[in-house]
A and B are shown apart, each in its own frame.
Chain A
Amino acid sequence: MAMSRPPSDVHKDSSQVRQKRMIADHFARLARASESGARCVYTFVPGNLTELLLAFDALPVLPEINALQSGMRGKSAEYIAVAEKAGHSEDVCTYVKCDIGMLKSGNVGPTGERLPPPDLLLLSYTGCFTFMKWFELLREEYSCPVVMLHVPYQGEGRITDAMRRYVVDQLREKVIPALEKATGRPYDEDRLRAALALSARAEDDFVWVLQSARNVPSPIDAYFGGVYYIGPIFTSFRGTPEAVDYYKELRAEVEERLRSGRGPVTPDGEASEERYRVVVEGPPNWTSFREFWKMFADEGAVVVASTYTKVGGLYDTGFRHDPARPLETLADYCLGCYTNLSLPSRVDLLSAYVRDYRADGFLVHSVKSCNSFSAGQLLMLREVEGRSGRPGGFIESDLVDPRYFSAANLKNRLESYFQMLDQKRPRSAP
């Protein structure tokens, strides 16, 4: 078992403190929206148009983030029960049910303050069928306008001109007018360009941080740590100076960690030994996030690359927001989000991660809630295993429904998987 420093040694990096403050400020702005007159736009993480919302001074609210926060705060079981009691099937996405349950329970957000109702539901229909139903459901709860941005799926593994044109036309002719109406402000393309330029700067540093895991040992955990690193860029801060500062600071911390040969932070402090390097496909479990993380950390397993950290934007294959083509770049961003990729493209990406990050193996964490992620993962497992020659593992739970998190089962499977990695390591000559 890998040794970690005891929890008393754990200190929060200044980037973590900064992020916490940024998020708290955002929720405080949301809580004050009715007094300040700020307009609130509910939208989704994949295909979020944060820079465009900023250009209208609108505040984004992301229901998936609220749901996962509810999961981490131990509130999701209660919210899901409320939704199921109201007629929502046990078979469907628990993010949706958690969000509906939270709404029906007073819409109190993660900071304990009530979230404002939306002035606009911006349905960025990107990479997930459930999104469409989710906002149809929310529309029945709020009397506010909805604008749909349909982002075509990359079925053939590429973005065509027709796809891009379709998205740009919707942005120009539908989404922007809806935002103008909801906020009472005119579209200012210069503001959008300025925000996009800031996005690109933050994205450079964000990618550097993710790719630091190519080093052996890795200074970061790109899954459990990664979900913190994606926080600002996937949510309400892409395109802001705060995000630029956050990623600059994060990068400096990781550079220092790398220089001093330190491993990633774990729930019990800093990991001192990297026994297994793994790539993980799929979102994490939020209701037992820390316990789940410890199952890896206790074994000395470091996640060196993950696909979940690409759901809100795929940057490490080269994409950057481009202020010179403001609407086209937003279209390309939406089209390129991870769950909008075809399965063969996802297999290509995973195989490249296993190779480039020198992983010992890769794991699929399959969640019941998300067919967009999960349908096809068993074939992906075989394909990546075949291409990379590295052993694959498969574990299952859920996003925010604690009924589907079986700790003993998961731990058992993970321990067996890590033993298998040990056995498959090349042995030194006697």
Chain B
Amino acid sequence: MSASALRDLVRGAEALCFDHAFPSVRAWKERTRGLAIGYMPIDVPREVLHAQGCLPVGIVGGGEMEIIRGDAYYQSYICHIPRSTVEMGLGGALDVLDGMLFPSTCDVIRNLSGMWSMLFPGKLVRYMDAPQDFDPARGGVFLRDALESLARDLEACGARPLEPARLRASIALYNENRRLVRDLYALRRAAPWKVPTDELYLVLRAGLVLPVEEHQALLRDYRRLVETAADRRPLDQARVVVTGCFCEQPPLGLLRTLERSGCYIVDDDLIPIHRYLQGDVEAQGDPLDALVRAYLEDVVAGPTRYIGEDRKGRDLVERVRRSGAEGVIFCAASFCDPALLDQPMIVRAVEASGIPWTAFKYSENSGQFQVIREQAGTFADSIKLWSGA
């Protein structure tokens, strides 16, 4: 009974993730008459949108969808996610969105904000520049101003005003959401055979198109079902951290290939918005200040964040230790500047710590995984056979 329920839940999540007509978003709009606001990776402050009665909708590319028009907007040496996003936009799939937010992830996402405003002139389009100066008196003031400006823009489009009490409630909801995700990651670290990464990925990605309240329910149901899944038993697989896949998402087949080739993924960068803020945002005091403080002080040390101190790669090494991983797989999208420019520095830190690693690139529409299977399988074997662990 629970096996079929689990299967149904995962299938439902998969349908939500890859139905580019966004039926859950359309249904929410029908029901609430609220604004649906899209956003690109990696992160936007969803709490602000939620507090104003908007539905934040994460757009992480079109996966394996056929690209016809999107390719006409990009040179061959630019990554894939903007092509499929433009394809979805021009094909009308994103008409359901009343606006799009473009975080300061890289120059491609940045420039897509300008393209979007030219291609879809009637929509709200905002570039969200996250401060790289983390002093509250400078970066904090700048970020607060940006959030207030966004709130005003949303209000001008028909959203309700941003009010402290509502923002506090939204912060509490997203805190709970992040806690549930953290708990699932902890469960996977403890028993990765219970929480296959392809399933976890789908459950997280479904959260990009669901209201947060519904996503909480999905996360709880999934946890309950996998905890009681008696047919899931451990195998002798190598425990690995997969890193570099924070923006353009790898195909589901690639994640399955990695685990089938003898690896247990015990930590990853997939759909990072759910773990971008590492702890809870304070729910007391001025909620906007609390949110700003969290963005200055509690964001993961990812490649889009300036690391001013000597800690490049230290976070990954700590994640490896915390998760009991035996190796690292650098898995970056082709032409991804943030991941690929970071990689030599992170590799150096990983090597200095004696952690085995391997690396390959993908595109969201990669379809052939045999080479990756062989590479990951060999990597897992080498860990099992020769690692000092």
Contact = CB atoms under 8 A, between A and B. Distances in A.
Interface of A: 86-89, 91-93, 96, 123, 125, 128-130, 132-134, 136-137, 140, 146, 148, 150, 152-153, 155-156, 162-163, 165-166, 169-170, 173-174, 342-347, 366, 368, 371-372, 374-379, 383, 396
Contact of A136 (B113, B135, B340, B345): B345
B278 interface: no
B364 to A, nearest CB: 15
A155 B113 contact: yes
Of B73, B117, B344, B361, most buried by chain A (CB within 10 Å of CB) is: B344
A128 B107 contact: yes
Sorting the interface of chain B by its residue count into under 10, 10 to 19, 20 to 34 or 35 or more gives 35 or more
A345 B312 CA distance: 35
Contacts of A123: 306
Given A133-B337, A378-B73, A148 B127 contact: no
A165 B110 contact: no
B337 A129 contact: yes
Contact of B133 (A130, A156, A170): A170
Contacts of A137: 341, 344-345
B261 interface: no
B211 interface: no
A372 B107 contact: yes
A91 B138 CA distance: 34
Contact of A368 (B77, B129, B139, B306): B77
Interface in B112-166: 112-115, 117-119, 126-127, 129, 131-133, 135, 137-139, 141-142, 145-146, 149
Given A137-B345, A153-B110, 10 more contacts: A136-B312, A153-B104, A155-B127, A170-B133, A170-B138, A343-B115, A343-B117, A376-B73, A376-B112, A376-B114
A86 to B, nearest CB: 7
B337 A153 contact: no
B185 to A, nearest CB: 27
A333 B92 CA distance: 40
Contact of A379 (B113, B118, B135, B348): B118
B258 interface: no
A375 B137 contact: no
Nearest to A100: B344
Given A91-B77, A342-B113, A378-B75, A155 B344 contact: no
A130 B145 CA distance: 26
B111 A133 contact: no
B38 interface: no
A146 B308 CA distance: 7
B234 to A, nearest CB: 34
Of B115, B117, B345, most buried by chain A (CB within 10 Å of CB) is: B115
Nearest to A169: B138
A377 B111 CA distance: 9
11 contacts: A92-B337, A92-B340, A132-B306, A133-B303, A153-B127, A155-B102, A162-B142, A162-B149, A173-B135, A343-B113, A375-B110
A61 B166 CA distance: 51
Contacts of A169: 137-138, 141
B236 to A, nearest CB: 31
Contacts of A87: 343-344, 347
Given A137-B341, A170-B133, A347 B78 contact: no
Interface string B302-330: 01001110001000000000000000000
